[in-house]
Amino acid sequence: MSMIEPRRGPRSVLLAPAAAALVLACAPAPVPEYYEIRRYRLADEDSRETVLAYLENALLPALSRAGIDRVGVFGVEPPAEAEEAPDPVDALSVWAIIAFPGIDDFIGMKSALEADAAYLEAAAPMYATPTREPIYERVESWFLRAFEGMPVMELPPQTAAGEDRIFELRLYESHNEDTARRKVHMFNHGEIDIMRDVDMAPLLYGELLIGANVPALVYILSAPDMESHREHWRTFLEHPEWERMRDMEMYKGTVSGIENVFLRPTAFSRI
């Protein structure tokens, strides 16, 4: 803005610290967003390359045109030498994470893609395969609603900087809906804060609404490398507040099964 002739318009008002704090306190809380997590199960490297090309050249650009720009695409991170190797199909799997500001964005995605001529043209190689030569065995999908304790995805600093990063996706099953609710409560009332405190850099937390593992929750942590991630876990498990919460009666027996996978983003991933 020119310093010679100030532009006339609504006046900016500087609030005193107490008043500013009151405004922030009265501001509406962010509305929890929604996530779709996909796993493309693939049998060979050629199929994997076709799916990756589809995601990079067709799906991600089309979603961006529809206003959905937080989309991650990942491969499975190879295990350390001493760790058990994943099933070959799982090792070839491609994972995708799509963040939706609201449920209407998710509902409208299919129609938006079908009406996008550029998308249909770019997706043609994916859709041209014959019935007896499918690209993927199946596309598994989980649909989640973000926790109130972290209603919006938080990208790690390495994403914006284009630096190396790894993610750990963890799925916690519960044996009934009440224990699942109590585990979500545990995250919302302390566990998320502890994870932030020890630099686990959580990406998202979500209650599983649709998927094969209901009732369950999913959360994803990030780190610049595996060594840092393991150190963060060690610090978390020794954190006095975690030890206190872990032993609280209301949180005992809330998890009946845990699955996890380590993911590394592709060069075109936006997460």
pLDDT digits (tens, 9 = 90+) for 137-172: 889 999 999 999 999 999 999 999 999 999 999 999
pLDDT computed for residue 211 by the predictor = 93
pLDDT computed for residue 81 by the predictor = 58
pLDDT computed for residue 162 by the predictor = 93
DSSP code, position 8? P
pLDDT computed for residue 28 by the predictor = 75
Which tokens belong to 225?
Answer: 């490398």
Side chain identity, residue 27: A
Question: What are the residue ranges spanned by the domains of the chain?
Answer: 31-265
DSSP code, position 250? G
pLDDT computed for residue 2 by the predictor = 36
Output the CA torsion 177→183→184→186 (10° steps).
150
> 142 in helix, strand or coil?
strand
Query: Do the beta carbons of residue 72 and residue 270 sit within 8 Å?
Result: yes
pLDDT digits (tens, 9 = 90+) for 199-237: 999 999 999 999 989 999 999 999 999 999 999 999 999
C-alpha to C-alpha distance for 79 and 91, rounded to whole angstroms: 10
Q: How many CA atoms lie within 13 A of 22 on its CB side?
A: 5
pLDDT computed for residue 209 by the predictor = 98
pLDDT computed for residue 1 by the predictor = 35
CATH number of 31-265: 3.30.70.100
Q: With a cut of 70, list the residues of the chain below it in pLDDT.
A: 1-27, 80-82
pLDDT computed for residue 3 by the predictor = 37
Output the CA torsion 79→81→82→83 (10° steps).
20
C-alpha to C-alpha distance for 151 and 154, rounded to whole angstroms: 9
Residue owning tokens 């409208």: 108
